[in-house]
Chains A and B, each alone.
Chain A
């Protein structure tokens, strides 16, 4: 069965620090990969996605993620975080061709100190 692991439960950074959140998945076939963000009091929003092509994906608000197939990883990065990036971040995967059934990690809570 597919699963998603997010290594960090809670990350605390100061503004302007660089961010990298880890995500590993277990599935041997073609996958589609996503990062979602949930700001306090708001609903889940899509940050970025990878289906195929360039493994370096750029999303909204300066976030990017790199798909490394050999490592089954899809880590999220941002060179300089802001206080407004404080939120919970979820990595998710679907198997290639799947029309639903997002498998989520447990999430990483990011707190950015002003």
Chain B
């Protein structure tokens, strides 16, 4: 059973550049959430995709955008990179429930982005 996978593992970019991070959800999952984890902090919610649409969004600027494909995989795009965007970017997948408790999220290993 394939878990959540993310690519690339590490990435170094220069200020002002653009970056695309990729996520494949756990087999059978249809919902993807993205989180940013700065050094020494807990993950912060960026946004969530379901049925190829952004369903919820955290307190992140429009420079952060995403996409979900028909096979449920997802991309996170960040434009005009700032030094402060350096962080571990985590993808989490879950299966939408029609009833019952909230979706349990499974996390990938993350992409470490360094902006110089």
A43 and B108 contact, CB distance less than 8 A: yes
Does residue B61 face the partner (Cβ distance < 8 Å to A)?
Answer: no
B104 and A49 contact, CB distance less than 8 A: yes
Given contacts A32-B102, A51-B102, contact A100 B43 (CB under 8 A): no
Given contacts A51-B102, A99-B55, A99-B102, contact A104 B96 (CB under 8 A): no
Q: How many A-B residue pairs have CB under 8 A?
A: 71
A90 and B43 contact, CB distance less than 8 A: yes
A102 and B105 contact, CB distance less than 8 A: yes
Interface residue tally on B, bucketed by range: 20 to 34
How far, in whole Å, are A103 and B45 apart by their CA atoms in the complex? Answer: 7
Interface residues of A in 73-99 (CB under 8 A from B): 90, 92, 94, 96-99
| B contacts, CB < 8 Å to A | 4, 31, 33, 35, 40-45, 48, 50, 55-56, 58, 90, 92, 94, 96-97, 101-110
Q: A90-B42, A102-B33 are in contact. List 14 more A-B contacts (CB 8 A).
A: A32-B102, A36-B107, A46-B104, A99-B50, A100-B33, A100-B55, A100-B56, A101-B33, A101-B48, A102-B45, A104-B43, A104-B44, A106-B40, A107-B42
